[in-house]
């Protein structure tokens, strides 16, 4: 028996890369109700899609009016290539402040965080989780730019969650045993934080003490199942024989927001949490095999199954009970959360399909038809959209509460001539039949990846975030990188570089700007990477596959992507800045791009070891929040302590300008 502590971050990145608010108590209800009415009127929806700011006093521009002034009014900052860079550098005239870090209080009863990481799982359940990722600011109607809810995903956990890192005890049979107190704390550090926040008299954003809206959702929170797989035998487990309730959400990466004012959190690399030790059985289950569920005699990445049986998906043929072979079916979904109702049960929407789902971004047409776009972040996976059967009625948004329970799921095919087609995942059509392993639509949804293989969708270079232009509805997707392009996956027009280390951004225009269209036209917006003639660390010319098409400031590995109301495209990066190919792009960063001119300008650089992810604004776009995820060296968190920890930054211009203008 051997005990081992792990402190490093590099492996976690590798895992990510695997393929496969009673100060107000008396009148709070009326505030919520008014904010809800704003939702009902569609105001919040418009804010979500970036149109609201255009209608606010002080903003000259209305949606659809071309801007005369250049989109970007800031000076770009330099790339930071030093291995010792441990700061946040932001454009001149702007200030970035740490706002919300792992361990900060969410619930009022949370104990103050201790930087020796000695606190237990019950404390963690009341505090901010780890690895802040996608997030959204839901404004309150009465003071939308000064008061609202900040909802933040906590994607996974770092070894710094514990005083001395993760503890694994290696057993004689090769399995790894975990201490139960560590596992519980890790489960508690996953999920979502809902935080009521407000600007104080000095203009600083603060958590509102005493709010009943503060909430922590974790890997231990009961959730409902809706849609075609609710109660389905394939969703049943020993602890949920009815297949109607799931404990928790995992690996919440990016997100989306609905026009009816709810938050969609997405379950990305859920496969890392499960193991099926029966290799023969594993190979017969596409819902395990095609999704990268761990197999063989070894343990899952965090070995939670050593103390929590439901993470062991190995069937037990000697016993006549359900076991947990279906537990991996219960993750990989879009989870809908009503942030305005702290007592509401989160809902897993199975009609939208099961993916390593990065995001769920809504595009709303004039006639109420909508699409929800998603990336599936693994090498060679697909770009997706879900089109609900029913239209969203702006005059009656509450009627859309269950809109995501029926509709058509599509995977994208990008053809060489710049056209493309959405391929519907409909059981019984185009080979989605029993002969090919699909007994019914539920099989199609559980193995959406396999169904898209059958349909001939285009394997992409790790599809991450999607962003929809506020005026044109043009859709952009970040393809972060894929070193197996040109070897395991053939080159194509949308994924044109072999050994693609830097990634690209692809965009498309739906026919008639209709989110529900079947046909689209697409082009490559940019290839990330160095500029022609660039040299490596030894002064030698870089190989062609590292040369990009970026006009302006270079970067590697686009990931987070979002438009503001003026149509600036904001790009966040998640590159390995220890790698040789990032010698010139350096630490991860936030950049801004002009979709028309294609110019890219660097707005912010983060500390070494961190990914920049998650982005949201106040409706006036004068306050910006982003996340510094898993900083590698010391970085000042919200209280100035030095244990590296994921942190939400709040960014404002010193004279209160619109961010980036």
Binding map of ligand FEO across residues 136-175, x = CB under 6 A, - = no contact? -------------------x--------------------
Residue 268: contacted member of Ca ion, ligand FEO, none (CB under 5 to 8 Å, by partner type):
ligand FEO
C-beta separation of 400 from 390 below 8 A: yes
Asked if 334 and 360 count as a contact pair (C-beta separation under 8 A), the reply is yes
Q: Which two tokens stand for residue 558?
A: 């686009």
Strand segments, DSSP code E, in 277-369 are 294-295, 334-337, 347-349, 361-364
- Subset of residues 548 to 567 that bind Ca ion, contact rule: CB under 5 A: 559
- With CB cut-offs between 5 and 8 Å by kind, which of ligand FEO, Ca ion, none does residue 312 bind? none
186 binds, among ligand FEO, Ca ion, none (CB under 5 to 8 A by kind): none
Of 45, 48, 76, residue with least CA distance to 594 = 76
222-226 and 347-349 beta bridge pairing:
parallel
Could you tell me the end-to-end alpha-carbon distance of the chain, in angstroms, rounded to an integer? 59
227, 303, 590 from 405: Cα distances, Å: 5, 33, 35
- Rounded to a whole number of angstroms, the minimum distance from the CB of residue 572 to Ca ion is 8
Distance CA 102, CA 110 (A): 12
Applying the rule CB under 5 A, the residues between 579 and 638 that interact with Ca ion are 611
Choice between 225 and 378, CB closer to ligand FEO: 378
Minimum Å distance from CB 613 to ligand FEO? Answer: 7
Rule CB under 6 A: say whether 17 interacts with ligand FEO.
no
Q: Is 464 in the site for ligand FEO (CB under 6 A)?
A: yes
Dist. CA 566–CA 563, nearest whole Å: 8
With contacts defined by CB under 5 A, name the span among 14-22, 176-184, 597-605, 652-660 that binds Ca ion. 14-22
- 561 closest CA partner among 409, 377, 395, 332: 377
Q: How near is the Cβ of 338 to ligand FEO at its closest, in Å?
A: 24
Q: Find the binder of Ca ion among 240, 327, 574, 577 (CB under 5 A).
A: 574
| Stretch of residues binding Ca ion (CB under 5 A), selected from 38-46, 332-340, 382-390, 571-579 | 571-579
In the complex, minimum distance from the CB of residue 611 to ligand FEO, in angstroms, rounded to a whole number: 8
Residues 16-55 that bind Ca ion (CB under 5 A): 16
CB of 119 vs ligand FEO, minimal distance in Å: 25
Residues 6+ apart with CB under 8 A from 605: 77, 78, 79, 80, 85, 88, 89, 586, 587, 588, 589, 590
Q: Taking CB within 5 to 8 Å according to partner kind, which of ligand FEO, Ca ion, none is near residue 327?
A: none
Q: Which member of 16, 336, 338, 461 binds ligand FEO (CB under 6 A)?
A: 16
Q: Least Å distance between CB 247 and ligand FEO?
A: 21
- Could you say which residues in the range 554-573 bind ligand FEO, by CB under 6 A? 559
Q: Which does 196 bind (CB under 5 to 8 A by kind): ligand FEO, Ca ion, none?
A: none
Closest separation in Å from C-beta 134 to Ca ion: 8
DSSP-assigned beta bridge partners for residue 573: 558
CA–CA dist 119, 111 (Å, integer): 9
Among 253, 337, 479, 547, binds ligand FEO (CB under 6 A): 253
Binding site partner of 104, from ligand FEO, Ca ion, none, Cβ cut-off 5-8 A by kind: none
Give me the 363-402 binding string for ligand FEO, x by CB under 6 A, dash otherwise: --------------x-------------------------
- The residue number whose beta carbon is nearest to Ca ion equals 574
Of 245, 222, 88, 249, the closest CA to residue 155 belongs to 249
Cβ closer to ligand FEO: 338 or 464? Answer: 464
Phi then psi dihedrals of residue 401, to 5 deg: -50, -35
Block residue for tokens 């072999």:
498
- Tokens standing for 129? 């989780």
Instruction: Please identify, using beta-carbon distances, which residue of 15 and 426 lies nearer to ligand FEO.
Output: 15
User: Are residues 494 and 526 in contact, defined by beta-carbon separation less than 8 angstroms?
Assistant: no
Give per-residue burial for 432-465: e unless 16+ CB within 10 Å, then b: beeeeebeebbbbbbbbbbbbbbbebbbbbbbbb
Q: How far apart are CA 425 and CA 441, in angstroms?
A: 8
3-class SS of residue 33: helix
Question: 503: alpha, beta or left, given left = phi > 0 and alpha = psi -120 to 50?
Answer: left
What minimum distance in Å lies between the beta carbon of 123 and ligand FEO? 26
Number of residues located near Ca ion, criterion CB under 5 A: 4
Instruction: Fill in the DSSP letter of residue 84.
Output: T
Residue 268 binds to ligand FEO (criterion: CB under 6 A): yes
In angstroms, what is the minimal distance from the CB of 610 to Ca ion? Answer: 10
Please give the structure tokens belonging to residue 432: 């989605």
We find the least distance from the C-beta atom of residue 573 to Ca ion, in angstroms, to be 9
Q: Which residues bind Ca ion (CB under 5 A)?
A: 16, 559, 574, 611
Q: Which residues bind ligand FEO (CB under 6 A)?
A: 16, 155, 253, 268, 358, 377, 464, 559
């Amino acid at each position: 028996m051997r005990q081992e502590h792990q402190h490093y971050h590099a492996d976690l990145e590798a895992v990510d890369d695997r393929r496969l608010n009673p100060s107000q108590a008396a009148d709070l209800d009326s505030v919520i109700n008014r904010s809800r009415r704003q939702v009902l009127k569609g105001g919040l929806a418009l804010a979500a899609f970036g149109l609201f700011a255009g209608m606010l006093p002080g903003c000259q521009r209305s949606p659809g009016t071309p801007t005369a002034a250049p989109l970007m009014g800031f000076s770009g900052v330099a790339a930071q290539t030093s291995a010792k860079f441990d700061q946040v550098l932001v454009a001149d005239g702007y200030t970035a402040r740490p706002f919300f870090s792992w361990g900060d209080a969410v619930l009022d009863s949370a104990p103050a965080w201790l930087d020796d990481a000695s606190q237990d799982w019950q404390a963690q359940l009341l505090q901010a989780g780890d690895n802040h990722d996608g997030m959204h600011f839901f404004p309150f109607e009465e003071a939308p730019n000064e008061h609202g809810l900040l909802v933040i995903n906590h994607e996974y956990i770092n070894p710094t969650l514990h005083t001395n890192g993760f503890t694994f005890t290696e057993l004689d049979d090769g399995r790894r045993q975990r201490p139960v107190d560590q596992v519980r704390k890790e489960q508690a550090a996953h999920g979502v934080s809902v935080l009521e926040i407000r600007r104080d008299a000095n203009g600083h954003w603060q958590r509102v003490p005493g709010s009943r809206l503060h909430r922590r959702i974790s890997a231990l929170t009961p959730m409902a199942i809706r849609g075609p797989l609710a109660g389905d035998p394939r969703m049943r487990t020993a602890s949920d024989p009815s297949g109607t309730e799931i404990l928790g959400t995992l690996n919440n990466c990016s997100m989306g927001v609905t026009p009816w004012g709810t938050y969609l959190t997405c379950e990305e690399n859920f496969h890392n949490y499960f193991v099926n030790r029966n290799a023969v059985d594993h190979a017969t289950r596409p819902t395990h095999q095609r999704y990268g569920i761990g197999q063989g005699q070894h343990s899952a990445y965090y070995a939670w199954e050593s103390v929590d049986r439901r993470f062991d998906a190995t069937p037990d043929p000697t016993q006549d009970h359900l076991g947990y072979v279906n537990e991996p079916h219960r993750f990989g979904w879009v989870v809908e959360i009503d942030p305005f109702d702290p007592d509401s049960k989160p809902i897993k929407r199975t009609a939208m399909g099961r993916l390593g789902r990065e995001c769920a971004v809504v595009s709303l047409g004039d006639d109420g038809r909508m699409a929800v776009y998603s990336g599936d972040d693994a090498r060679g996976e697909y770009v997706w959209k879900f089109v609900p059967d029913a239209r969203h009625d702006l005059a009656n948004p509450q009627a859309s509460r269950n809109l995501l329970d029926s509709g058509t799921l599509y995977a994208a095919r990008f053809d060489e001539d710049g056209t493309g087609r959405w391929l519907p995942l409909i059981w019984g059509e185009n080979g989605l039949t029993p002969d090919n392993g699909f007994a019914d639509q539920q099989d199609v949804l559980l193995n959406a990846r396999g169904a898209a293989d059958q349909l001939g969708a285009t394997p992409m270079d790790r599809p991450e975030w999607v962003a929809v232009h506020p005026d044109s509805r043009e859709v952009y997707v970040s393809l972060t990188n894929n070193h197996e392009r040109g070897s395991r996956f053939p080159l194509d027009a949308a994924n044109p570089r072999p050994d693609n280390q830097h990634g690209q951004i692809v965009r498309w225009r739906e026919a008639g700007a209709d989110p529900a269209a079947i046909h689209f036209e697409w082009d490559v917006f940019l290839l990330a990477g160095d500029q022609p003639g660039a040299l490596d660390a030894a002064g030698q010319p870089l190989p062609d596959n590292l040369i990009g098409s970026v006009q302006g400031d270079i970067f590697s590995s686009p990931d987070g992507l979002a438009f503001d109301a003026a149509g600036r495209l904001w790009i966040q990066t998640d590159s390995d800045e220890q790698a040789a190919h990032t010698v010139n792009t350096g630490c991860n960063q936030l950049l801004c791009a002009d979709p028309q001119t294609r110019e890219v300008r660097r707005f912010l650089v983060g500390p070494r070891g961190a990914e920049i992810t998650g982005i949201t604004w106040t409706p006036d776009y004068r306050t910006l929040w982003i996340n510094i995820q898993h900083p590698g060296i010391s970085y000042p968190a919200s209280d100035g302590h030095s244990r590296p920890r994921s942190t939400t930054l709040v960014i404002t211009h010193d004279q209160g300008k619109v961010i980036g203008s």
